[in-house]
Structure 1
Amino acid sequence: MEERVHVYPFSAVVGSDDLMLALILTGVSPEIGGVLVRGEKGTAKSTAVRAQAALLPPVTVVADCRFSCDPAAPDPACPDGPHPPSAASVSRPVRLVELPVGAGEDRVVGSLHLEKALSGGGVEYEPGLLARAHRGILYVDEVNLLHDHLVDLLLDAAAMGRATVERDGVSLTHAARFSLVGTMNPEEGELRPQLLDRFGLSVEVAAPRDPALRVEIVRRRLAFDADPEGFTAAYAAAERELSERVAAARARLPEVVLGEDALLAVAEVCAAFDVDGMRADLVCARAAVAHAAWCGRTEVTRADVRAAARLALPHRRRRNPFDSPGMDEDLLDEVLGDDPDPGPDDPGGGGGPAPEDGPDSPVPSDAGSASSAPADPSGASAPPDAEPRPDVPAPVSVTAPEEAYRARLFTVAGTGNGTLGRRSRAVTTAGRTVGDVPADRGTGPIHLAATVRAAALRSAASRPARLSLVPADLRRAVLEGRESNLVLLCVDASGSMAARRRMAQVKTAVLALLLDAYRRRDRVGLVTFRDRDATLVLPPTGSVDVAAARLRELPAGGRTPLAEGLLEAAETLRRERLRDPDRRALLVVVTDGRATAGPAAVERSLRAADHLAREGVAALVIDSETGRFRMGLAAALARRMGAEYTHVGEVSAESITSAVAEATGRAA
């Protein structure tokens, strides 16, 4: 007997009021377009999403229809149709379909039923996850890590409400309307703007700081883990009450009136927050109507508009990838007027201001700002290159980068096998077909023409010749697309005037590379060396939000421990190779070649360069030495590393990125 899997009850989730309200509103009105849940790990994002499906009213479907057609309005183009009016129907719970980030295209959209094709049963289409999610919920955990070719499929289905299949000799279309729910940790990278805009609502979640609330969360989770059946039974009444309320809100939805005043308030809020396009207005209006229905009202009020705006607008305010999503509560109050009384039936305060200590509370402009601290805690005024006194820290300064520009495209020469991206040539899971291999040696989709050709060649050797298919005939396509790469910058952050000016330009270059990496799914890291050691200030990442914040706070000053910087970069690349051996990397060292961390510093830096050369690290040295008389230390360093060498007198961000583009095109 199959063991029953217990899902943590939705009503038992505490400390995530905005998340619960957003999920409930999409349950009341699926036309809102789903929910994006952003937050750090361990904040019950997945727990709440998986519990949502149990609250939704069951759906009635045509019996034996694999595409969940509605008996009252079946899809005329349903591959299992046409369905006559007398077709039998059944009622079943709403499905929560999980889309793994590593899923193949055939699993998402479906493909040829191989078993029936090989057994001579004819060509039959096997539905994928989009068909299964029709009239339900499609859930993508870590949605920001979803491969681009799957993102394209989701965008098409979300825009058209249908999935189109053109592959493996199959050509058909079927309905695919679902609520898209995604969870993500922003530190692991951001979403493409097109997919971000497809989510109707978004929520930022964080672990509560109230000890009593944290204790209650742990107590409930331990109780559930110890006795899932008993814990679920204890919340059965609360779950039933919530489910009945969602059903009642759905029934009330057509009766809710969106008056001219409320519609004008929606337009005023969206215009005030300067969102792109009209989708924000539509989503905000639908969410306000759903909120009114959930609260038992038949007319939309400003409280409903406020609650809808807090959930529908934050992720649409990002003007570029460096902007953090969020909501200006003061501006919202100014547009909508005084905060209305939400009434006792409004869970979550009717979209009122977030609690003072909540995740949406504004941060004081001077809180935690690195640039507000004095440059030299000792108050001493020392020359930039002066040897620091043993009892006084080396003076440091924090230099802000300039506005990021668009970086040039640069690629790694040759053909790699890295993670699917948008930069260098590689054998990937998506792209154009360049060949085929036996099915047991490849991971691509079935290559129908090559399979038939293999079967024909085998059958031609038999007497009499008769075409038949056996598993050994199966061939998979070899696809060539684009991969993402790792660019690791190792930057001198010591304390001369030139270094301080250089740091602003280098920071701008790194931000530009990050912006390009965001668009092309690259990863970029930053190692700096100053004073006595080297620091990995930016671990390899695709998250431009985290990267921008750390770069702006990067200090400069002190001596130049060049050897430590090179060894830290080598260790970072070694760890990244272990983590992802197929991702090709380029090390970019920005230095004048001087090493001022002690008498033996020069010899240590040359030994570190020899180590990088032995490891076969593809590298580029950018010489930042200035002045009429130059020592040429960076050129000597590049020769020892086996690296490309570029001299940049007054180092500009554009010069750095251009040099990277030229060298990366030559590095294999």
Structure 2
Amino acid sequence: MSEPRDGTDIGFPLSAIVGQDQLRLALILCAVHPGIGGVLVRGEKGTAKSTAVRALAQLLPPVLDDPADGAVARAPRPARLVELPVGATEDRVVGSLDLEKVLRDGERAFQPGLLAAAHQGVLYVDEVNLLHDHLVDVLLDAAAMGRVHIERDGVSYSHPAKFVLVGTMNPEEGELRPQLLDRFGLAVDVMASREVDTRVEVIRRRLAYEADPVAFARDYADADAELARRIVRARAHCAAVDLPGRELRRIAALCAAFDVDGMRADLVVARAATAHAAWRGVREVTEQDVRVAAEMALPHRRRRDPFDEPGLDADDLDQAMEEAAREADREPEPDPDPEPGPGGGGADEPGEQSAGDGPADQTGDGPDADEPAAAPQTAPTGAQAPEQQAPEPSTSEPSAPDGPTPGEGTGAGKGPGRTIELPGRPFRTRLLQIPGIGEGAPGRRSRARSTRGRSVRPTLEPGHGLHLVGTLFAAAEHQVARGRHGGRMMLAPNDLRGAVREGREGNLVVFLVDASGSMAARDRLTAVAGAVVSLLRDAYQRRDKVAVISMRGADAEVLLPPTSSVEIAVRRLATMRTGGRTPLAQGFLKAREMVLRERVRDPRRRALVVTLTDGRATGGPDPVVRARTAATLLAESGAASVVIDCEVSMIRLGLAAEMARALRGECLQLAELSAQQVADVVRAAA
């Protein structure tokens, strides 16, 4: 947590940031109306994301109450900037039982966490996409309700937590799930300007700040002071701003036009438009305020699928605003007749449409989290009509006639062959799982020791939380020696037992794709592409790191090094060239090299290699023997394997199954990947 700003910490002034006007406005609107729900700042490295957040904290008005001690401060204190580290535990965030006071004084006492310290200040989470999903849920719940309620370890505690929540992230390092994206009030995409004059001014101001921070801050003190005064005035004026019915209809029509889920978007746009009107100093929300709010509240809510491109096209927004203007001018329809019509009820009967938040609140942490429901289909946008969407991919071999031979085609990319054609609608796959219990990063694929989940046994080590039953059993055998004769149990520090918990982990999933001529013939790779994209979607939902290796010609090529961004993986897959021989041995060796290299970087993350091939090893002397030898080396590296058999001949040779045995893994037919067709769970052999 950052120390309170007392004048000795000279931060970069908010008014001195060059460009990034939308970022500054989003931060200011959330400072004016914290009920908006925070800002998610997405962008590349070095775009002043963190600088702007820290600069905002210096402009917030002083606060009086401090929920950490439950008292009213004697003098106003500066608003705090609380920085939440990615590795923070849930106890550190929401607070925990004060065990020292419990054991020393025999009293139940609660020690507040970072959410209490951030009250009436700024809670800043850098790399929020790398934060554990359950912690993101906690933060967003607190930001939405303005209070934190804790019911744990026999203690009931509640305190206010009204803060400006700001999360920053680099999309290349992985995306937030759409359900979590929806719960951020506003989202802003930032990037460095490509204008030379703007970049020169950025360099000039930064160098001047580094040379003399005090003098630089003095130059912008008046501008920052005016910003601070405007924030205070807008806060006081916000409750008095009128939101007329015409603008309410405009907001509802606009959100309906973009087909966003639930009602959260409507509420956020209304609050942001009200805050913008207060920031402008006017008494009534107008179309201008609604448009500004929509530009920041709707883009990230349109992204229902991990492969959807983020953002909001200006032409689409203009068209939606025109349609919303016509709806706003329309007189509201009178209430329907409460008496049912001849058909026993009309379309306007209550219960026909829910006003709740819908599937956006489903975080996937329930008891059925191991089998996520099929992702909703992406709605057509812009000029894309429903009939133009890609057809449903098949999980088996398509019956198309033979396609062009290797070397034909004019697809994108370099080299001979043609590019793979990606389907538009992936299916829900079976769960591919690594056996045993790991200790990797939190996720939703394989079993692992974790900081949360069910408690399986006590331990003398600190563990993750208190194992109450184990602690009581450990203390019970010493009660006579400690002189207890009835009454309260006597505890000692060495009685404490930590809890060993079991949850789920995310894995490194390496997709080894056979892109040779035998696979490209008869467009077999269309079905394979559908399987890979579906598996990538599954990896996104389960918080895995993914990598893609292509096998064709004389060697294997790493299309995508390990990353958390499956969006980039799909783009790389679309540029994959096909044709040529099948270098299975090179592919297995390349996968082994990647697994061993990643194990050095992240020793606890286990690897699962998913090979999609027909098993026909060709090219070079003894290709089959070399492939089996390389497969054995990959198995000895400790990576689990699953082979997806893509062979479709009337007489099956079973070559893929032989490779699976060499890999000491499971072999599945391509059609067996669909969770709808096969209900049981596939476990990869160690």
Q: TM-score, normalised by structure 1?
A: 0.82
* Matching residue of 1:311: 296
* Matching residue of 1:583: 605
How far the C-alpha of 1:632 sits from its partner, in A, is 4.6
* Matching residue of 1:451: 471
Note if contact 2:27-2:53 (Cα within 8 Å) is conserved in structure 1.
Answer: yes
**Residues 653 and 548 from structure 1, CA distance in 2 versus in 1: closer, same or farther, beyond 3 angstroms?**
farther
Structure 2: where are the runs of 5+ without partners? 326-380, 385-402, 409-413
Match for residue 617 of structure 2 among 589, 595, 615:
595
Q: Do residues 667 (structure 1) and 685 (structure 2) align?
A: yes
* Matching residue of 1:59: 63
For residues 621 and 472 of structure 1, the distance between their equivalents in structure 2, rounded to whole angstroms, comes to 50
**Residues 255 and 464 from structure 1, CA distance in 2 versus in 1: closer, same or farther, beyond 3 angstroms?**
closer
* Matching residue of 1:103: 88
For residues 88 and 122 of structure 1, the distance between their equivalents in structure 2, rounded to whole angstroms, comes to 25
Q: Secondary structure at the match of 1:298?
A: coil
* Matching residue of 2:462: 442
Note if contact 1:401-1:552 (Cα within 8 Å) is conserved in structure 2.
Answer: no
For residues 101 and 652 of structure 2, the distance between their equivalents in structure 1, rounded to whole angstroms, comes to 74
* Matching residue of 2:480: 460
Q: Do residues 483 (structure 1) and 505 (structure 2) align?
A: yes
How far the C-alpha of 1:17 sits from its partner, in A, is 1.3
Note if contact 2:420-2:526 (Cα within 8 Å) is conserved in structure 1.
Answer: no
Q: Secondary structure at the match of 2:64?
A: strand
Matched AA of 1:625: E
Note if contact 1:131-1:174 (Cα within 8 Å) is conserved in structure 2.
Answer: yes
For residues 134 and 277 of structure 2, the distance between their equivalents in structure 1, rounded to whole angstroms, comes to 38
Q: Do residues 398 (structure 1) and 402 (structure 2) align?
A: no
Q: Secondary structure at the match of 1:587?
A: strand
Q: Do residues 93 (structure 1) and 97 (structure 2) align?
A: no
Note if contact 2:407-2:418 (Cα within 8 Å) is conserved in structure 1.
Answer: no
Q: How does 1:123-138 map to 2 (within 5 A)?
A: 123-138=108-123
Give a deviation string over 1:556-578, Cα, whole Å, max 9, x none: 22232222211111111112222
Matched AA of 1:92: R
**Residues 464 and 587 from structure 1, CA distance in 2 versus in 1: closer, same or farther, beyond 3 angstroms?**
closer
For residues 496 and 15 of structure 2, the distance between their equivalents in structure 1, rounded to whole angstroms, comes to 50
Note if contact 2:528-2:646 (Cα within 8 Å) is conserved in structure 1.
Answer: no
Q: Secondary structure at the match of 1:182?
A: strand
Matched AA of 1:446: L
Matched AA of 2:68: R
Q: Secondary structure at the match of 1:239?
A: helix
* Matching residue of 2:635: 613
Matched AA of 1:55: L
**Residues 576 and 659 from structure 1, CA distance in 2 versus in 1: closer, same or farther, beyond 3 angstroms?**
farther
Q: Secondary structure at the match of 2:644?
A: strand
* Matching residue of 2:36: 32
How far the C-alpha of 1:237 sits from its partner, in A, is 2.0
* Matching residue of 1:147: 132
Give a deviation string over 1:587-645, Cα, whole Å, max 9, x none: 12222333333345445433322321332332233333343555554344334333333
Q: Do residues 114 (structure 1) and 99 (structure 2) align?
A: yes
* Matching residue of 1:280: 265
Q: Do residues 413 (structure 1) and 443 (structure 2) align?
A: no
For residues 566 and 404 of structure 2, the distance between their equivalents in structure 1, rounded to whole angstroms, comes to 35
How far the C-alpha of 1:385 sits from its partner, in A, is 7.9
**Residues 468 and 234 from structure 1, CA distance in 2 versus in 1: closer, same or farther, beyond 3 angstroms?**
farther
Q: How does 1:180-329 map to 2 (within 5 A)?
A: 180-329=165-314
Give a deviation string over 1:249-296, Cα, whole Å, max 9, x none: 223323333233332322222122111222212211221122122223
Note if contact 2:549-2:557 (Cα within 8 Å) is conserved in structure 1.
Answer: yes
For residues 210 and 246 of structure 2, the distance between their equivalents in structure 1, rounded to whole angstroms, comes to 49
Q: How many matched pairs?
A: 603
Matched AA of 2:29: L
**Residues 134 and 644 from structure 1, CA distance in 2 versus in 1: closer, same or farther, beyond 3 angstroms?**
same
**Residues 657 and 48 from structure 1, CA distance in 2 versus in 1: closer, same or farther, beyond 3 angstroms?**
farther
* Matching residue of 2:365: none
Q: Percent identity?
A: 55
For residues 415 and 115 of structure 2, the distance between their equivalents in structure 1, rounded to whole angstroms, comes to 60
Note if contact 1:443-1:476 (Cα within 8 Å) is conserved in structure 2.
Answer: yes
For residues 15 and 490 of structure 1, the distance between their equivalents in structure 2, rounded to whole angstroms, comes to 43
For residues 293 and 565 of structure 1, the distance between their equivalents in structure 2, rounded to whole angstroms, comes to 61
Matched AA of 1:637: M
Matched AA of 1:570: R
42-51 or 168-177, which moves further after superposition?
168-177
**Residues 613 and 194 from structure 1, CA distance in 2 versus in 1: closer, same or farther, beyond 3 angstroms?**
closer
622-631 or 328-337, which moves further after superposition?
622-631
**Residues 205 and 363 from structure 1, CA distance in 2 versus in 1: closer, same or farther, beyond 3 angstroms?**
farther
**Residues 595 and 659 from structure 1, CA distance in 2 versus in 1: closer, same or farther, beyond 3 angstroms?**
farther
Matched AA of 2:462: G
For residues 497 and 313 of structure 2, the distance between their equivalents in structure 1, rounded to whole angstroms, comes to 56
For residues 511 and 293 of structure 1, the distance between their equivalents in structure 2, rounded to whole angstroms, comes to 46
* Matching residue of 2:535: 513
Structure 1: where are the runs of 5+ without partners? 68-79, 82-86, 341-361, 366-380, 387-391
How far the C-alpha of 1:38 sits from its partner, in A, is 0.9
Note if contact 2:549-2:591 (Cα within 8 Å) is conserved in structure 1.
Answer: yes
Note if contact 1:500-1:556 (Cα within 8 Å) is conserved in structure 2.
Answer: no
Matched AA of 1:21: L
Matched AA of 2:282: R
For residues 89 and 5 of structure 1, the distance between their equivalents in structure 2, rounded to whole angstroms, comes to 23
Matched AA of 1:66: A
Q: Do residues 13 (structure 1) and 17 (structure 2) align?
A: yes
For residues 661 and 175 of structure 2, the distance between their equivalents in structure 1, rounded to whole angstroms, comes to 38
How far the C-alpha of 1:128 sits from its partner, in A, is 0.8
How far the C-alpha of 1:146 sits from its partner, in A, is 1.6
Give a deviation string over 1:193-212, Cα, whole Å, max 9, x none: 33222211110111211222
Note if contact 2:475-2:490 (Cα within 8 Å) is conserved in structure 1.
Answer: yes
For residues 42 and 672 of structure 2, the distance between their equivalents in structure 1, rounded to whole angstroms, comes to 32
How far the C-alpha of 1:173 sits from its partner, in A, is 2.1
How far the C-alpha of 1:23 sits from its partner, in A, is 0.5
For residues 593 and 678 of structure 2, the distance between their equivalents in structure 1, rounded to whole angstroms, comes to 24
Q: TM-score, normalised by structure 2?
A: 0.80
Note if contact 2:546-2:566 (Cα within 8 Å) is conserved in structure 1.
Answer: no
* Matching residue of 1:537: 559
For residues 238 and 410 of structure 1, the distance between their equivalents in structure 2, rounded to whole angstroms, comes to 57
Matched AA of 1:419: A
Match for residue 547 of structure 2 among 521, 525, 535:
525
Match for residue 316 of structure 2 among 322, 331, 343:
331
How far the C-alpha of 1:318 sits from its partner, in A, is 1.6
Note if contact 1:385-1:495 (Cα within 8 Å) is conserved in structure 2.
Answer: no
How far the C-alpha of 1:402 sits from its partner, in A, is 4.1
For residues 73 and 597 of structure 2, the distance between their equivalents in structure 1, rounded to whole angstroms, comes to 59
How far the C-alpha of 1:37 sits from its partner, in A, is 0.7
For residues 574 and 672 of structure 2, the distance between their equivalents in structure 1, rounded to whole angstroms, comes to 15
**Residues 656 and 110 from structure 1, CA distance in 2 versus in 1: closer, same or farther, beyond 3 angstroms?**
closer
How far the C-alpha of 1:470 sits from its partner, in A, is 4.1
For residues 675 and 320 of structure 2, the distance between their equivalents in structure 1, rounded to whole angstroms, comes to 45
Match for residue 667 of structure 2 among 638, 645, 648:
645
For residues 220 and 440 of structure 2, the distance between their equivalents in structure 1, rounded to whole angstroms, comes to 47
Q: Secondary structure at the match of 2:218?
A: helix
For residues 672 and 194 of structure 2, the distance between their equivalents in structure 1, rounded to whole angstroms, comes to 41
* Matching residue of 1:565: 587
For residues 158 and 448 of structure 1, the distance between their equivalents in structure 2, rounded to whole angstroms, comes to 31
For residues 46 and 382 of structure 2, the distance between their equivalents in structure 1, rounded to whole angstroms, comes to 23
* Matching residue of 1:624: 646
Matched AA of 1:527: I
How far the C-alpha of 1:500 sits from its partner, in A, is 6.2
For residues 146 and 394 of structure 1, the distance between their equivalents in structure 2, rounded to whole angstroms, comes to 42
Q: Do residues 549 (structure 1) and 571 (structure 2) align?
A: yes
* Matching residue of 1:77: none
Q: Secondary structure at the match of 2:550?
A: strand
For residues 120 and 522 of structure 2, the distance between their equivalents in structure 1, rounded to whole angstroms, comes to 58
